[in-house]
């Protein structure tokens, strides 16, 4: 067998091996701007916001056709360095028709650091469970998850004239994926490598 032909066969087989080795798709990371609900806040007694959810933002992304979502984590902070206080509030992942499908964070107590943020922004993180992933399945497939909050009606120690704010700092979505199957082109490359190997073995027998 000619040296060039042998080299080509080895390279073809090597490329096929590399391309068909199971691979993990990289993470998909999406970040929304820091959310601040009002420059003046809300008087916690006199002008408390009406019930219902308020959209902080929508995470948009694209899951590759050959990838499988293996996990999703969202992280962020309560409060910011300028005015640390965060109103009692709950945070959710949802979609049109169910904006509060999965609760992912909460600042529920005036005794918690998230409320006063005296030590700076309070970090939080939440990893979706298998049940959460099932609930949000169609939204994940469509590549759109709404990030919303609702005000907590707990008005402990609130008084008229005391303003409340909602802060959501650097909301970051991290989607972990894994490759599920080789692309058609990869399969063809593998086939080419096997043909080259078969030709090499046949030549050696002759």
**pLDDT block averages, 10 residues each, the chain of length 206:** 48 43 70 83 65 88 92 93 78 94 91 81 95 96 95 62 80 93 52 48 54
Helix or strand run (H / E) with residue 151: strand 144-151
CATH number of 23-181: 2.60.120
Q: Looking at the chain, list the stretches that DSSP marks H as alpha helix, in order from N- to C-terminal side.
A: 3-20, 113-116, 130-135, 137-142, 184-205
Tokens of 125: 């993180």
CA distance 160 to 44: 7
3-state DSSP assignment of residue 89: strand
Residue 43 phi, psi (nearest 5): -65, 120
Q: What is the pTM of this model?
A: 0.72
């Amino acid at each position: 067998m000619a040296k060039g032909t042998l080299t080509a066969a080895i390279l073809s087989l090597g490329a096929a091996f590399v391309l068909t080795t199971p691979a993990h798709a990289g993470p998909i990371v999406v970040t929304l701007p820091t959310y601040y609900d009002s420059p003046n806040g809300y008087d916690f007694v006199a002008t408390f916001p009406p019930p219902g959810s308020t959209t902080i933002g929508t995470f948009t992304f694209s899951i590759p056709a050959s990838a499988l979502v293996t996990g999703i984590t969202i992280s962020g902070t309560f409060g910011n360095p300028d005015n640390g206080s965060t109103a009692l509030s709950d945070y959710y992942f949802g979609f049109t028709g169910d904006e509060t499908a999965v609760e992912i964070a909460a600042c529920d107590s005036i005794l918690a650091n998230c409320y006063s943020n005296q030590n700076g922004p309070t970090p939080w993180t939440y990893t979706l469970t298998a049940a959460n992933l099932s609930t949000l399945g169609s939204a994940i497939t469509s590549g759109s998850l709404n990030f919303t909050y609702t005000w907590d009606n707990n008005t402990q120690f609130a008084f008229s004239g005391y303003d409340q704010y909602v802060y959501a700092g650097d909301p970051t979505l991290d989607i972990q994926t894994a490759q599920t199957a080789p692309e058609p082109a990869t399969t063809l490359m593998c086939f080419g490598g096997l043909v080259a190997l078969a030709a090499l073995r046949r030549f050696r027998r002759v």
